[in-house]
A and B are shown apart, each in its own frame.
Chain A
């Protein structure tokens, strides 16, 4: 997708957004294949100790 960085704004044109979205939803590629690839990508994440990972995240305060 071409970007127009010489412009003052980092935007895509509206037709760019439309195009991105239309192409992505019209994809005919087998979605389950892609999802399989993604699950392969993250396989190693799931090999760590999930309980420990989740419980390590305790935050105080905020807002």
Chain B
């Protein structure tokens, strides 16, 4: 069975057994970690982006004495190696909740950037602008990530997940890719050219696709945390929702097959050369990735068949998203792609939105330079001062599943039906009380006024434990 049994959390806290319903059903914890890129333009004198990222985190440091903190909505905010501001969504049971949390993250980053920009302008002139890019590649070809986390049942061997899921992850980029202009032409993904090693070794060893540390932040005997790194950061809300939702359905099929000891139907999907396939998918528009559509059709058909069985649990344990809705959107995307109607997807697929707009730009200004198109592309990803995304959405050209009010609300409100609700309440009260605290995904620690700790091992549970109640009483 599982090869990876090196979880650091294994022996530390054996507590109550995992509720059987969690093992029998399809409920899942979803999470998205987004690394942001930082740049400055318009300054009177050269400004170091790393320094600017530190300035952005000054309010965090003065509050938490660290660049690593948790927020009242349960999410994690930190400064990663290389001065990447990073935001990890709190535990969500539904892709729609994870989307709300991710949008809250964009707003948190925007707030930090705007504040830092005010300070920067005092020193570097009124035209200084801080850009915070929710993308995956800088101008020098450094790539960075948007990682998805899925809690999966440990009875499925890691090798099976990798073998059966990787072809799906590579080909789902047809509708979740964020797109990128390159001098060799437009690609539908940001990262394919930078992930060769990761994708190749994922078929043989676990490092790139699944975190070797294998920290499930849950009962390690029952769950593992699948850490997916081959995905683009999305501005499109539809794309963020879809990548989590469709991946969930494929994982459900794999889990159920193992549970019943039957084939999943994905056994023959393995790609001979995943790295080459990944690059080919990114060049879909040149016509070299026909296999990608066929594979997606196959995954769709197997999931559809699975859903038709009476054994498939009603709604597959999602709390907000209707499973048939996912299927409708999935089929529609594949149909439009097959018909070559890419512009029909421009209101939901990031790469299609970019492609359509850049075509219009070239038509209006045939002399437009490559650098200008690159700049416009970066502007699309700039969540602090970008104009393109806002223009597209306000003119109804990129539809949004959640509006400003919902995103604003998610900045202060954790998902109500997971451990995040407990963490969020703790962080809020600790901040309100001016207490000193620290946290990680499974621990809450109060250091001043008195030292108390609570361990929350079950990510699905929003029920306060006795330990948690005592912790809260100290506040």
Contact = CB atoms under 8 A, between A and B. Distances in A.
Q: Chain B, interface size: which category?
A: 35 or more
Interface in A1-27: 1, 3, 5, 8-14, 17-18, 20-21, 24-25, 27
Interface string B37-55: 1111110000001100000
B319 A9 contact: yes
A52 B43 CA distance: 11
B409 A10 contact: yes
Contacts, number: 178
A36 B360 contact: yes
Given A14-B322, A32-B360, A42-B387, A57 B139 contact: yes
A55 B372 CA distance: 12
Given A3-B405, A53-B378, A10 B410 contact: yes
A35 B387 contact: no
Interface string B351-375: 0000011001100100011011011
| Consensus secondary structure, chain A interface | helix
Nearest to B40: A56
B388 A42 contact: yes
Contact of A57 (B81, B133, B325): B133
Interface in B370-424: 371-372, 374-376, 378-379, 387-388, 391-392, 395-397, 399-403, 405-406, 409-410, 415-417
B106 interface: no
B256 interface: no
A57 B39 contact: yes
Contacts of B320: 9-11
Contact of A62 (B35, B387, B410): B35
Given A1-B403, A39-B364, A59 B82 contact: yes
B304 interface: no
Contact of B80 (A14, A36, A42, A62): A62
Given A62-B84, A63-B144, A35 B356 contact: yes
A10 B100 contact: yes
A45 interface: yes
Contacts of A59: 37-38, 49, 82-84, 138, 140, 142, 144
A15 to B, nearest CB: 9
B453 interface: no
B386 to A, nearest CB: 8
Contacts of B409: 5, 10
A28 interface: no
B131 interface: yes
A37 B319 contact: no
B395 A10 contact: no
A35 B406 contact: no
Q: Which of B83, B401, B415 has the most CB of A within 10 A?
A: B401
Contacts of A53: 41, 371, 375, 378
A27 B396 CA distance: 10
Contacts of A24: 347, 396-397, 399
A5 B50 contact: no
B374 A21 contact: no
B182 interface: no
Interface string A25-49: 1010001101111110110011010
Contacts of B140: 58-59
B387 A63 contact: no
A18 B35 CA distance: 31
Given A42-B379, A53-B378, A9 B142 contact: no
A46 B373 CA distance: 9
Contacts of B396: 24, 27, 34
Q: Which of A9, A14, A59, A60 has the most CB of B within 10 A?
A: A59
Q: Which of A32, A48, A54 has the most CB of B within 10 A?
A: A54
B219 interface: no
A38 B82 contact: no
B348 interface: yes
A62 B131 CA distance: 17
Given A9-B320, A62-B81, A50 B374 contact: yes
Contacts of A38: 357, 360, 388, 391-392, 395, 397
Contacts of A55: 139
A25 B144 contact: no
10 contacts: A3-B402, A24-B347, A27-B396, A38-B360, A39-B364, A41-B387, A45-B387, A45-B388, A53-B371, A55-B139
Given A21-B399, A35-B356, 5 more contacts: A20-B399, A34-B395, A57-B139, A58-B39, A60-B50
Interface of A: 1, 3, 5, 8-14, 17-18, 20-21, 24-25, 27, 31-32, 34-39, 41-42, 45-46, 48, 50-63
